[in-house]
Copies of this chain bind each other. A is one copy, B any other.
C-alpha cells in the first residue's frame, strides 16, 4: 500500500518511450545499426573530420560511451579514425564509403519509422510533443552546466 501510480512519473514514461522506440527501430530500420550509432553517422555526414569528444557532444553522449560506439562503428568499417597531425590528443573521424551508404539508406527508413512512431498523435500534437520533450530535456541539462551562453557573468 501507499504505492504511487508510475504512469504519472515522467522518468518511468521516458523509459517506456525509449523501449517502444527501440522496438520499432530494430524491426523497421535496422538490426545491425542502432539509433545512437545512426546519430553518430549523421553527425559525421554533416561535419566530416570532427574529433571524438565533439561528436559525443553533438549526439549527447559522454566520453566513455561515445568511445565505445565509435569503436564498434570502426570495427564494422563505417568510420575511419586518424590522429590529428595538429593536436596529438585528438582523433579525427570521417565516414568511409560504406558508412556514407549506410547513412543514406537508414535516413530513408528512419523517416518512415518516425512517421509510424508518431502516428497516434495528430500533426499539431506531434510538433507539440517534440517541443515539450526538448524543453524538459534542455532545462535539466542546464542544471548540470550553468547557462554561460545566455548570461556571461560580468
Chain A residues touching B, majority SS: helix
Stretch at the interface among A70-78, A80-88, A112-120, A146-154: A112-120
B21-A35 in contact (CB<8A): no
What copy number does this chain have within its complex?
2
Q: Size of chain A's interface in residues, with CB distance under 8 A?
A: 60
Are A140 and B128 touching (Cβ within 8 A)?
A: no
Do the beta carbons of A140 and B42 come within 8 Å of each other? no
| Residue from the list B4, B7, B137 in contact with A13, Cβ < 8 A | B137
Q: 9 new A-B pairs (CB below 8 Å) besides A10-B17, A14-B17, A23-B140?
A: A7-B134, A8-B114, A11-B22, A12-B60, A13-B134, A14-B21, A16-B60, A120-B135, A129-B133
A residues at B contact (CB < 8 Å): 1-4, 6-25, 35-36, 39, 42-43, 45-46, 59-60, 103-104, 107, 110-111, 114, 117-121, 125, 128-130, 132-141, 143-144
